[in-house]
Structure 1
Amino acid sequence: MQTNEQLLSAIENHLAQIGFPAEPQLLYAPIGYSLAGGGKRLRPMLVMLAAGIFTDRVQAALPAAAAVEVFHNFTLLHDDIMDNASIRRGKPSVYARWGQNVAILSGDAMMICAYRLLSEVPAPLLPEILSTFNAMALEVCEGQQYDMDFEQKQKVSVVEYMHMIELKTSALLAGATVIGALVGGASEEDCRRLRRFALELGLAFQLQDDLLDSYGDERLGKAIGGDILEGKKTYLMITAMSRADEPAREVLRTAHRDASLSDAEKIARVKAIYDALDVPRLAQQQIQLRFERALAVLETLSVERARTERMRSYAESLIDRKR
């Protein structure tokens, strides 16, 4: 099987060869701009690695891998509109550069393109892969709606938050992994187990994202404290709210809106409460629990352990981003 670097190169080449028309320019140029923006290519890598557990002919999974990545980028175009986000991966978002109407329509075209790519998978597998893709896509939309609902909700529980990120983040990882396994010829039981693996991995990944936003290294390329400044209900914020006394809760609720404080002061005040309530340790504990659950699932697959090593190594690299 190819190395991870070779798989990533194959994914990039496949995406580059999709061949969008030149006209109408305002429909297709933003799509090319979005797909050329880089990113981790996490979801197509999971497609390829899952296929590789069951077959050495992983090239057959490239259309599905590209479909999942195009779909993921479509969701980002629409997310940026909903979040009024001007930056995506260190560059102006499609929404900021071309406006709302272009971002909506180019996003719609990307979703259609994702289905066109998906139609290139082996015909006997298409019904099951299409069913998996559709279920995944709807779950992502459900998760996004819950995320938006939380902005207006006074109190959000940890259980509600975990359900939301399972839909918004983990479901796409799980769908990608199962689709790759199907292309590789996995059994129904192995697909079910890999779905659980990816759901747990996705939860660990998102929780670590929450933690890194407040406690990461700026050399990762992401400014520290963005979630705090936006007043986002992350795992850290929700956990702190559940453990704090009322004066501390008031600070957590209002610091991001306090015009008398600089951004650095807002971040420092909230993090001081997090630290006092042991929130970073609790988050790390939850990350480790979810990650260990994910790895344990790989042990139950009906293949030799050696065939899961690439997936295991890749998963470890995702949960070791701070170093």
Structure 2
Amino acid sequence: MNSLETYSKAFDTHLKAYQWKNNPKNLYEPAQYILQLGGKRVRPVLTLLAAEVFGEDYRKALDAALAVEFFHNFTLIHDDIMDEAPLRRGSQTVHLRWSRDIAILSGDTLFSLAYGCLESYDESIMSRLTKIINRTAVKIYEGQQMDMDFETQKKVSIEEYKEMIRRKTAVLLGAALEMGAVVANTSESNKKAVYDFGIQLGLAFQLLDDYLDAFGNPETFGKQVGGDILENKKTFLYLKALENADTDQVEQIKNFFLHKNFDATKKIDAVKNLFLNTGAAASILKEIEKHTLAAFDSLEQIDIPANRKNQLRSFGESLMGRSN
């Protein structure tokens, strides 16, 4: 088995070797820009890792991993547009650096190019990989719509919120692993188990992202800390704070989240204190641990040698120990 660093370096080399068109410049340059911003390459590394743990040379999964990364960055470009986000991975977002219209087209292009990456596989594998992307895309769109609906929905339950992040975030981690398993041509039961591992890990990963959005270090988080608070997003922290709050705290929380005309720094600090004082911050950390452990439990259903399972576990531990 290779190290995670080996997978990451191999993927970056493969990405750099991709032959981009140069014209129209304003279509392809933004796509290359967001990909060059880097990140941990979590999803493509998962695809390579899954292929190898199921007995295939990870290099045979490089094109599938590239498809995963292209698709992921397509969703990021569109997500940033809808969120009106100023930063992505610490740099200016595509729609602000170019324009909203260019960002939409560039994101759509990445989506289409993802399918092109799969043309190197034989028809049977390509068909299965394409079906995974199609299924995942619809789930992500559903999750994004749920997220937008929550902005005007008067009451959102914690279970509704978790279902939204399952569709919007977790399904892509599951899909990345499943695609590697498909390239390796492993059993259906193994594909399901590794997908379930990705779903649980994805839930934990997104909840950790929610936590870091409020309590992370701006220098290492890569996005605007407090962005969810400023956008009045109904995250797990917000919902749990309301659930635990006393009457006075409920009034304070609702006041902050009904309006945007507060000083940004003061609003972020005040809401963070409410998250801490209501126990919401402690609750989300417990929820993160719960889904991380559920991910590791799903590994027991995978029929591979223990040392290969440990590679998946190690990745999960590394992912959940991300810098704050």
TM-score band (shorter)?
A: over 0.9
Separation of aligned partners in 1, 2:206 and 2:219: 19
SS state of the match for residue 40, structure 2?
A: coil
Aligned to 1:173: 173
What is the Cα deviation at residue 317 of structure 1? 0.8
1:31 to partner: Cα distance: 1.1
Which residue matches 1:183?
183
- In structure 2, the partner of 1:268 is 269
Matches within 5 A, 1:308-323: 308-322=309-323
Question: SS of the counterpart of 2:186?
Answer: coil
Q: What SS does the corresponding residue of 1:192 show, helix, strand or coil?
A: helix
Identity of aligned residues (%): 39
**Is contact 2:242-2:253 (8 Å) kept?**
yes
AA aligned to 1:117 is C
Q: Secondary structure at the match of 1:38?
A: coil
Q: Distance in 1 between matches of 2:77 and 2:275?
A: 32
CA distance in 2, matches of 1:227, 1:279: 15
Aligned match of 1:251: 252
218-227 vs 277-286, which moves further: 218-227
Q: What are the superposed Cα offsets for residues 70-128 of structure 1, whole Å, 9 maximum, x if unpaired? A: 00101111112211223211111111111011111111111110000022223331222
The reply to whether residue 207 of structure 1 matches residue 207 of structure 2 is yes
Match for residue 301 of structure 1? Answer: 302
- 2:151 is paired with a residue whose SS is helix
**Structure 2 SS opposite 1:299:** helix
Give the whole-Å Cα distance in 2 for the aligned partners of 1:271 and 1:75: 28
Measured against aligned partners, the alpha-carbon deviations of 1:177-220 in whole angstroms (never above 9, x if no partner) come to 11111111210011111111110000000111111122223442
Rounded to whole Å, the distance in 2 between the matches of 1:87 and 1:236 is 22
Aligned residue pairs, count: 322
Distance 2:275 2:111 in 1: 40
CA distance in 2 between counterparts of 1:237 and 1:285 reads 15
The more displaced of 61-70 and 37-46 is: 37-46
Mean alpha-carbon deviation: is it higher for 33-42 or for 196-205?
33-42
Relative to structure 1, is the Cα distance of residues 253 and 183 closer, same or farther in structure 2, using a 3 angstrom cutoff?
same
The 1-side partners of 2:221 and 2:170 are apart by 23
**Aligned to 1:119, what secondary structure does the other structure show?**
helix
Structure 2 CA distance, aligned partners of 1:214 and 1:12?
30
Counterpart code for 1:68: V
Tell me, what secondary structure is at the counterpart of 1:152?
coil
1:226 corresponding residue in structure 2:
227
Match of 1:49 in 2: 49
Q: Distance in 2 between matches of 1:14 and 1:123?
A: 22
The equivalent residue for 2:16 is: 16
TM-score of the two chains, using structure 1 as the length reference: 0.95
TM-score by length of 2: 0.95
Letter matched to residue 118 of structure 2? L
Deviating 4+ runs (over 6 angstroms): none
Per-residue deviation, 1:234: 0.9
Structure 2: how far apart are the matches of 1:272 and 1:35?
A: 36
Give how far 1:146 is off: 0.5
> Quick check: 2:177–2:195 contact (8 Å CA) kept in 1?
yes
Which amino acid in structure 1 is aligned with residue 200 of structure 2?
E
Q: Distance in 2 between matches of 1:168 and 1:42?
A: 16
Corresponding residue for 1:284? 285
Unaligned runs of 5+ in 1: none
Task: State the AA in 1 paired with 2:42.
Answer: L
Corresponding residue number in structure 2 for 1:123? 123
Tell me if the contact between 2:230 and 2:260 (Cα under 8 Å) persists in the aligned partners: no
SS of residue matched to 1:21: coil
